[in-house]
Amino acid sequence: MHDLGEIVFSAAVTFLVGENGSGKSTLLEGMAAGMGAVAAGQRDLARDPTLMAAREFAAGFRFVRRRHARSRMFLRAEDVFGFTQRVGADMEGLSQDAVELAASVRGDYGRRLAVGAVSGQRSALVRYYGADPDGRSHGETFLAVLRRRLVPNGLYFLDEPEAPLSPTRVLALMALIADRVAAGCQFVIATHSPILLAQPDAVILLAEAGGLRAVAWNDLEHVRVTRAFLADPAAMLHKVLG
């Protein structure tokens, strides 16, 4: 991404697409860092060692948004398990705190107050993410986290959200994105999914040769290859495998 200048994201949904190594994920991560997004993972964006390049990238650009975003979040599909583990650890820690407070605080009123406050925090996490956040499949967990975290008027950076999802669940994700767009949200999404890339009214930016250019869905190699394979799998496999 050495030829980048000013980039304007005017659409509610913008997709970044390109071959592996084209720089689309680094660009997405850099924008998330530059906009001060919160990472929904095991580590915060500012301290995650895997996002060092993103922070360095962000330092070289100026980021401006006309309207304040109520929420700013960055999420990689691979980080969901880390996020649910962090939530599970918080829930376990709050349970232990409640037991310790019940044993150590003197006076019924003070004990009830202290234990009630801690238990209330744990109950809120249970309402948001379930009693066993790790008990769902990766895809179910991913969609559950998104439904909870995508609040109206938010700015969201998603990296390959289709990775843990079946085709049917990708359609469910598209419906969720459309619902949140109607509530004033904006998305920038790096993806390889021809299904997800068909999101209505989205802008698609192709990362290649160190820069970005807008491209139509029908002109994407992802779409052409998938369409050719589905039309004649045997012919495509013969061409690839010999």
The string of pLDDT tens digits covering residues 218-228 is: 999 999 999 99
Q: What is the CATH number of domain 13-82+138-241?
A: 3.40.50
pLDDT tens column, 117-158: 656 666 665 555 555 555 555 567 778 888 888 999 999 999
pTM listed for this prediction = 0.75
**Comparing C-alpha atoms, which of 17, 58, 67, 1 is closest to residue 203?**
17
Amino acid code (one letter) for 53: A
Average pLDDT of span 4-10: 79
pLDDT tens column, 56-114: 777 777 777 878 888 999 988 777 655 555 655 666 665 676 666 676 766 776 666 66
pLDDT greater than 70 at residue 197: yes
Which residue ranges make up each domain of the chain? 13-82+138-241, 83-133
Task: Output the pLDDT for position 186.
Answer: 97
- Cβ within 8 Å of residue 25, ≥6 positions away: 16, 159, 160, 190
Contact (CB, 8 A) for 95 and 123: no
Tell me which residue has tokens 């619902």: 179
Phi, psi of 9 (to 5 degrees): -105, 95
Contact (CB, 8 A) for 45 and 213: no
- Cβ within 8 Å of residue 43, ≥6 positions away: 49, 82
